[in-house]
Chain A
């Protein structure tokens, strides 16, 4: 075996939060990704391979703050940004396709996104995702089907008790009203289900008593389909009512199609991505503290490319999905042939024959 040369320990350190996965954990990750890919193919999705970096403008409107993007300059003086979001860069790529020929597109992707996070608390600056984009997919049936595909992925992985938490971007928008929309602090308070902070901010922003009360009640609007009816009583505005109609139609479609999904409705659910326009969801499992993935409808996203195209999609966080899986052994190939380098051509020949029979071939060092 080669001897390790003496080296400075610092030379072996990686940037905190970057991904390094090897051995059984990598095999489990591969299984997770393959399972989602198989389900996606089963629903007619085909792979799309997207650039790892692009112009900064591509990533505007995602959930990454400007300061959290990884930027660099190439030798021609162009400022470029590492991929911070798949949906945004997929939209740009698919806009090119759609200009050529308007059609329904089913695209599935896998890769990494990069967003700065301060070190500590398990921050991850690099995240592997697998997901899909369904373009020219308007209305409730596509909403329901998207949830069903996400649900099938989770079932196929054995995560039967994962929960899909469904909310609606337009409902939150209506509840926030003109003054509250785009208010990051208020969105953050809603995201943390923090009524005390909501009251404090509403007072500071001069929101009226009815709106303040509505916002403070949002964190409690979580449960079965009955919370949609409850929301109607406290948010009667037409924009909110239209969003609730959509959620009711979604709940009905899921019921009538006998979809066996573990769905909760959370009308206080906030996603910081400003591109969501309709139904949106997050996926949770009790085995992992943070969300395993999420997605939703973004009917206005293609506007920036001069296209009126309704679309929907979701992405899973592969590291967290892998973490949620039961700790089962990853089985290698059934038959394994081995030879050593010392056996020379004869050893190699036996391995080539083994490969011809579809067996796993292991060439080891030594005699």
Chain B
């Protein structure tokens, strides 16, 4: 039986709906169960409920053959796995945000900019690519406060509607990437279970087509 790692948290409800549309509904309501492993109704696959940040690791290490993961997590962890499908849900943007006037105030300074983020790798690579020296401050949550209270000049974070930014007086200065939920596959499993994984990919693709029809 193939295992699919699913991230708990904000993606889970959408993932559950998507799995039902793809003909692989879980045997139990994933958002309510306390179990960590739940089979699909058809018994073809088993779902592992894991922390969003761990989902790619379970797949990379081959504990789960497949997984669902947010692009933001994939960008941060850069796991060595296949990413064959954009599942289209949990859309958001990875952005550089800060107080509206911050960019102007930094225009003539050569000192590194301070960046607070939950995504230190993404932030480091983004500022390196832009040729801007930066000091990255890793936070675990509520990163907006970093920019509001002057801990950092910028934050790098994901934004869905922008409400939290607005309510804290912050604006988007740059977009780093568009993010959404992705289907990820372990490399060895892809080749060892080519036809079974191919069938799941086909089922997911037709669910996506139906959703867009």
A interface residues with partner B (beta carbon < 8 Å): 121-122, 161, 163, 165, 192-197, 219, 222-223, 264, 266, 284-291
Among B80, B86, B191, point to the contact of A284 (Cβ < 8 A): B191
CB-CB < 8 A to A291: which residues of B?
187-188
Most chain B CB atoms below 10 A, which of A163, A264, A285, A289: A289
CB-CB < 8 A to A223: which residues of B?
194
- Answer whether residue B186 sits at the interface, using C-beta atoms and an 8 A cutoff: yes
Among B59, B60, B62, B84, point to the contact of A193 (Cβ < 8 A): B84
* Pairs A–B under 8 Å by Cβ, sample size 17: A121-B57, A193-B82, A193-B185, A194-B83, A194-B84, A195-B84, A196-B182, A197-B83, A266-B191, A284-B187, A288-B62, A289-B61, A289-B62, A289-B187, A290-B80, A290-B187, A290-B188
CB-CB < 8 A to A197: which residues of B?
83
Say how far A216's CB is from chain B's closest CB, in angstroms: 11
Most chain A CB atoms below 10 A, which of B62, B77, B81, B192: B192
CB-CB < 8 A to B189: which residues of A?
286, 289
How far, in whole Å, are A192 and B85 apart by their CA atoms in the complex? 10
Among A195, A219, A266, A285, point to the contact of B188 (Cβ < 8 A): A285
CB-CB < 8 A to A196: which residues of B?
83, 85-86, 182
Let me know if A121 and B191 touch, CB within 8 A.
Answer: no
Let me know if B188 and A284 touch, CB within 8 A.
Answer: yes
Residue of A nearest to B88 (CB): A196
Most chain A CB atoms below 10 A, which of B59, B191, B194: B191
Most chain A CB atoms below 10 A, which of B82, B188, B189: B188
How far, in whole Å, are A286 and B81 apart by their CA atoms in the complex? 14
Interface size class of B (residues with CB under 8 A): 20 to 34
Interface residues of B in 158-210 (CB under 8 A from A): 182, 185-194
How far, in whole Å, are A219 and B194 apart by their CA atoms in the complex? 12
Say how far A220's CB is from chain B's closest CB, in angstroms: 9
CB-CB < 8 A to B79: which residues of A?
121
CB-CB < 8 A to A286: which residues of B?
62, 188-189, 192-193
Residue of B nearest to A284 (CB): B188
Among A264, A284, A285, A289, point to the contact of B60 (Cβ < 8 A): A289
Among A121, A222, A284, point to the contact of B192 (Cβ < 8 A): A284
Residue of A nearest to B63 (CB): A289
Interface string of B46-80 (1 = CB under 8 A from A): 00000000000101111000000000000001011
How far, in whole Å, are A291 and B62 apart by their CA atoms in the complex? 11
How far, in whole Å, are A181 and B77 apart by their CA atoms in the complex? 26
CB-CB < 8 A to B194: which residues of A?
222-223, 264
Among B57, B77, B83, B191, point to the contact of A192 (Cβ < 8 A): B83
Let me know if B82 and A192 touch, CB within 8 A.
Answer: yes
Let me know if A219 and B191 touch, CB within 8 A.
Answer: no
CB-CB < 8 A to B61: which residues of A?
122, 289
CB-CB < 8 A to A266: which residues of B?
191
Residue of A nearest to B193 (CB): A286
Let me know if B83 and A121 touch, CB within 8 A.
Answer: no
CB-CB < 8 A to A287: which residues of B?
62, 188
How far, in whole Å, are A264 and B194 apart by their CA atoms in the complex? 10
Say how far B138's CB is from chain A's closest CB, in angstroms: 13
Say how far A266's CB is from chain B's closest CB, in angstroms: 8
Let me know if A193 and B83 touch, CB within 8 A.
Answer: yes
Given contact pairs A222-B191, A287-B62, a sample of 14 additional A-B residue pairs in the complex whose CB atoms are under 8 Å apart:
A161-B192, A165-B191, A193-B190, A194-B83, A196-B85, A197-B83, A219-B84, A284-B187, A284-B191, A286-B192, A289-B187, A290-B80, A290-B187, A291-B188
CB-CB < 8 A to B192: which residues of A?
161, 163, 284-286
CB-CB < 8 A to A264: which residues of B?
191, 194
Residue of B nearest to A164 (CB): B191
